[in-house]
Amino acid sequence: MLEIERIMRLLETEFVGREIHYYEKISSTNTVAKQQARDDAREGTTIIAETQTQGKGRLNRPWISPKGGIWLSVILRPQITVEDALKITLATAVAVAKTLYNMFDLRAEIKWPNDVLVDNKKLCGILTETSSRKKNVDFVVVGIGLNANFDSKTLPEELQTVATTLKEVLKKEIDREKLICRLLKEIEDLYKTFKAKNFETLLNEWRAFAVFLGKKVEITNFKEKFEGVAVDVDDTGALLVKLADGTMRKVLSGDVTVRLV
C-alpha cells in the first residue's frame, strides 16, 4: 500500500499533489477527479488509487489496473481554449519520460498522442479529459496509468505481448512514493512552461523522446485508416503525416501504429 504521508513529506511541488485523495479501490481516478473538479476542487488536487475497477483508456477502452501500479489523476485549471488541451497531453507524456530517465536512466519513447513506451512496449498511458464552457476550458483532468510493481503476466493475454512494467524492465520493484513525487514535480514544471506560452520549448523536449518521427505509420480513427510518414507535431499539438502523394495530413485524434516495413 502507498504511504500517502510519506509522499506529502517528500513532495517538492507548489500546488500539484498538495491535496491528495487516496483510495484503495475506485472505479476510475479520472471519474472521481472530474466530479471533484465540478465541486470546485482546487488546482493540483490529485486522486490516487491502488486499483481501478473501471479504469479508462482513450476511445473508451478499458484500462486494466492491478495492485502495484500507479493510477492517478491531476486536476488542472488552465485558461485555455478546447483546442489547446491536446498540448497538456503532450506535456504530461514528456513529464513521464523525463521522470523515467532521471530516476532509472530509462530511455523511454513517446508515441503520439498519449503513450510512453520502453523497448517498444507500452509502459504508461495518459488520458486527458476536459470540461468546457463554450470555447473555453473550465478544467482539465490528466489521468496517468503507469505499470510499476507487477508482472505483465497478470494482464489479459492479448496485452502481455504489447505491454511491460517497471518491475520487468528494471528487474526489481521500485519506490512508488518517490516516483510519484518526482512525476508530480515534472508535471508541475512542464505545466508552468505551458502556461508561460513556451510551447515550442516543450515541443522540442517532446520531439527528443518521439522516436517514431520520420518513420512510416498507420493512422486509425473512427472514420478511416491511412498510412504515411510521421513528420512532426505542429504548434497546436496535432500530428503531421506526409502521404505517399506528397500531401500533408493534420491528425487531431486517432491511433498511431509504427510500420516496420
Q: Could you tell me the pLDDT band of residue 78, with boundaries at 50, 70 and 90?
A: very high
Asked if residue 230 and residue 197 are part of one domain, the reply reads no
Asked if residue 236 and residue 134 are part of one domain, the reply reads no
Q: Could you tell me the pLDDT band of residue 58, with boundaries at 50, 70 and 90?
A: low
Spell out the long-range contacts of 157-161 with Cβ–Cβ below 8 A and sequence spacing 24 or more: 159/64
pTM of the full predicted structure?
Answer: 0.94
Asked if residue 243 and residue 180 are part of one domain, the reply reads no
* Contact indicator for 165, 150 with CB cutoff of 8 Å: yes
Q: Could you tell me the pLDDT band of residue 59, with boundaries at 50, 70 and 90?
A: low
SS3 assignment for 152-199: HHHCCHHHHCCECCHHHHHCCCCCHHHHHHHHHHHHHHHHHHHHCCCH
Domain that includes residue 241, residue range: 216-258
Strands 46-52 and 20-26: parallel
Asked if residue 22 and residue 57 are part of one domain, the reply reads yes
- Count of structural domains within the chain: 2
Separation of alpha carbons 170 and 167, rounded Å: 5
Asked if residue 152 and residue 53 are part of one domain, the reply reads yes
Separation of alpha carbons 163 and 202, rounded Å: 27
Asked if residue 234 and residue 128 are part of one domain, the reply reads no
Contacts of 215 (CB under 8 A, 6+ apart): 229, 230, 258, 259
In a 3-state reduction of DSSP, which class is residue 110?
strand
Asked if residue 109 and residue 231 are part of one domain, the reply reads no
Asked if residue 197 and residue 232 are part of one domain, the reply reads no
Q: Give tens-digit pLDDT for 151-178.
A: 999 888 888 899 999 999 999 999 999 9
Helix (H) or strand (E) holding 102: helix 85-104
pLDDT at 44: 98
Q: Is the pLDDT of residue 46 over 90?
A: yes
In a 3-state reduction of DSSP, which class is residue 91?
helix
Contacts of 50 (CB under 8 A, 6+ apart): 1, 2, 23, 24, 25, 67, 71
Separation of alpha carbons 78 and 201, rounded Å: 18
Asked if residue 181 and residue 58 are part of one domain, the reply reads yes
Q: What is the CATH number of the domain that holds 231?
A: 2.30.30.100
pLDDT at 136: 87
Q: Give tens-digit pLDDT for 209-225.
A: 998 999 999 999 878 89
Q: Is the pLDDT of residue 260 over 80?
A: no
pLDDT at 55: 77
Separation of alpha carbons 239 and 114, rounded Å: 12
Asked if residue 172 and residue 220 are part of one domain, the reply reads no
The angle that helices 199-209 and 176-195 make with each other, rounded to 10 degrees, is 140
Q: Give tens-digit pLDDT for 101-122.
A: 999 999 999 999 889 999 999 9
Contacts of 31 (CB under 8 A, 6+ apart): 54, 56
Q: What is the mean pLDDT of the chain?
A: 93
Asked if residue 238 and residue 152 are part of one domain, the reply reads no
